[in-house]
Structure 1
Amino acid sequence: MSTDHAPTPHAAADNETQPYLRTIKSFVKRTGRMGSGQAKAMQELGPQFLLPYQASAIDLVAPYASRTSSRGQSFTQENPLILEIGFGMGEATAQIATTLPDTRFLCCEVHEPGVGALLKRIGEQDLRNIRICAHDAVEVLDNMLTPGCLDGVHIFFPDPWHKARHNKRRLIQSPLVAKLAGRLKSGGYIHCATDWEPYAQQMLEVLSAEPLLHNPAATSNPELGGYAPKPHYRPLTKFENRGIKLGHGVWDLVFVRR
């Protein structure tokens, strides 16, 4: 998630002649300096809260079993499971996990300072419901997650690739959306948000074209043009508040699996 506009996931299509699914990455890996607090969190908390990538399906209950929910109960498969693709420095992720303490979050991010920052927040706030996979989310989807295992997907403020010639590198494209929809349970949702209107329009077009999804906002809030009211769990970050004060828009899209 990039509500604080840290490096966020997007498609990397260096070989433009290859099909999407053979070239896409959910990120472009960028270097960044890890602070001492982030490095300490990585060392001390990484073994408990980082899930190593593997090329086969994983048990999605066991990684959370070492901690209990806010009700003092062990997490089970009855606790909703949300995949987050790209969380930047983890500010909003930590706030959402606090707002939804009985929901399990599997968060994908490859930016090491961001991973360290979220681990630091986990320790400071005693968050019980987050696990991090520091790996390309597309490969996580392909190999670690099984059909119908997710209750939701969060993709907040992915790189908009502003220039028209770079639009094809955007993360939200039909093949990825189809993949995400296939991992959702019936009634599960995909929630995207962006502060770049042309990308919001593309997201709306791509999500609307996926036959496994429907858009409740199209009928419940037709005055919003297919966009959704901001769900209560998604916080406003300092960056977003600054943009709103300057008159910048933010668009949320929430599509549900049929």
Structure 2
Amino acid sequence: MNTENNENTAPSASAESTEAPKPFMRTIKSFIRRAGRTTAGQAKAFEVLGPQFLVPYQTSLLDLQAPFAQADATPEEAAAQAAKPIVLEIGFGMGEATAHIASVLPDTHFLCCEVHEPGVGALLKRIGERNLTNIRICAHDAVEVIDHMLPLHSLDGVHIFFPDPWHKTKHNKRRLIQQGLVAKLAARLKVGGYLHCATDWQPYAEQILAVLSAEPLLRNRALQSHPQLEGYAPKPLYRPLTKFENRGIRLGHGVWDAVFERV
């Protein structure tokens, strides 16, 4: 689902209380740009729904509840909205799973990063078709969004589903899930918040488990509850089986979920 290009990850920064803004001097990217044509329906969704559901990239911290605020809300409604958890999704592809998760978790706000324009248009179209109100999209590199827009201790969860596995050994360094990025995400999670990664490529699953396990701010939720899974988690009910995943299962491919909690 997700596409990314992670060249050189930044150093780990687990002591989040001392983290200070730094000049943006990095080649790391959370994506590769893919060719694709935006359909008429997706273009219409950009025009009609973009002003409400697209969050512009900025180089200053974002009040994450602000994009979800309703202008005509009563004080009680505004307080209820502000109390809802916020989940960051990195790379949603064409948005099928994202729209499903948002529909089954209507009391959670989702800030979703994707640079593939047809994918952004497709998710906007799904938002309109399903009348979803709990999704906002930042069509920008997620790494820069994390660095510049997300305050520390601001997220209740992070979803990274099926990032590009970069199968060749010489390309493994481009994988998204690396120590530097995980440290940044952990620092932006609230205590008790979670980081959920899923992949259908076993070598990448092993790397993900190792990298998450090495982050001192994270704890593996599955170790005690499901020891038979050797650190991996059962597929959470909110994550649907995508067409891509179902095809892989029919071909005998495995799928690995890793769910870690901020301590």
- Do the two structures share a fold, i.e. TM-score over 0.5? yes
- Mapped to 1, the partners of 2:72 and 2:217 lie a distance apart of 34
- Whether contact under 8 Å (1:67, 1:128) holds in the other structure is no
Which of 233, 239, 250 does residue 255 from structure 2 map onto?
250
> Which residue does 1:138 correspond to in 2?
143
- Mapped to 1, the partners of 2:254 and 2:139 lie a distance apart of 30
- Whether contact under 8 Å (2:6, 2:173) holds in the other structure is no
Aligned to 2:103, what secondary structure does the other structure show?
helix
Asked if residue 204 in structure 1 is aligned to residue 204 in structure 2, the reply is: no
User: Residue by residue, what CA displacement relative to the aligned partner does 1:30-59 show, whole Å, maximum 9, x if unpaired?
Assistant: 221001100100111001100000000112
Q: Shift in Å at residue 243 of structure 1?
A: 1.4
Aligned to 2:26, what secondary structure does the other structure show?
helix
Q: Shift in Å at residue 77 of structure 1?
A: 2.6
Which of 37, 43, 56 does residue 39 from structure 1 map onto?
43
Q: Shift in Å at residue 67 of structure 1?
A: 8.3
For normalisation by structure 2, the TM-score amounts to: 0.90
- Mapped to 1, the partners of 2:113 and 2:246 lie a distance apart of 25
- Mapped to 1, the partners of 2:72 and 2:114 lie a distance apart of 24
Change (3 A) 1:222 1:132: same
- Mapped to 1, the partners of 2:35 and 2:188 lie a distance apart of 31
- Whether contact under 8 Å (1:68, 1:128) holds in the other structure is no
Q: CA RMSD in A?
A: 1.9
- Whether contact under 8 Å (1:153, 1:190) holds in the other structure is yes
Aligned to 1:63, what secondary structure does the other structure show?
helix
- Mapped to 2, the partners of 1:42 and 1:68 lie a distance apart of 24
Aligned to 1:23, what secondary structure does the other structure show?
coil
> Which residue does 2:231 correspond to in 1?
226
- Mapped to 2, the partners of 1:172 and 1:188 lie a distance apart of 18
* Matching residue's letter, 1:203: I
- Whether contact under 8 Å (1:212, 1:257) holds in the other structure is yes
Which of 18, 28, 34 does residue 32 from structure 2 map onto?
28
Q: Shift in Å at residue 76 of structure 1?
A: 2.6
Which of 172, 192, 196 does residue 177 from structure 2 map onto?
172
> Which residue does 2:19 correspond to in 1?
none
Which of 106, 116, 125 does residue 121 from structure 2 map onto?
116
Which of 105, 111, 114 does residue 110 from structure 2 map onto?
105
- Mapped to 1, the partners of 2:247 and 2:72 lie a distance apart of 36
Q: Shift in Å at residue 19 of structure 1?
A: 6.0
- Mapped to 1, the partners of 2:238 and 2:6 lie a distance apart of 30
- Whether contact under 8 Å (2:5, 2:31) holds in the other structure is yes
Change (3 A) 1:67 1:121: farther
> Which residue does 2:22 correspond to in 1?
none
Please show how residues 81-96 of structure 1 align to structure 2 within 5 Å.
81-96=86-101
Gaps of 5+ in 2: 12-24
* Matching residue's letter, 1:115: V
For normalisation by structure 1, the TM-score amounts to: 0.91
Aligned to 1:82, what secondary structure does the other structure show?
strand
Aligned to 1:240, what secondary structure does the other structure show?
helix
Percent sequence identity is 69
Report the number of matched residues.
247
Q: Shift in Å at residue 66 of structure 1?
A: 2.5
Structure 1 runs of 4+ with >4 Å offset: 18-21, 72-75
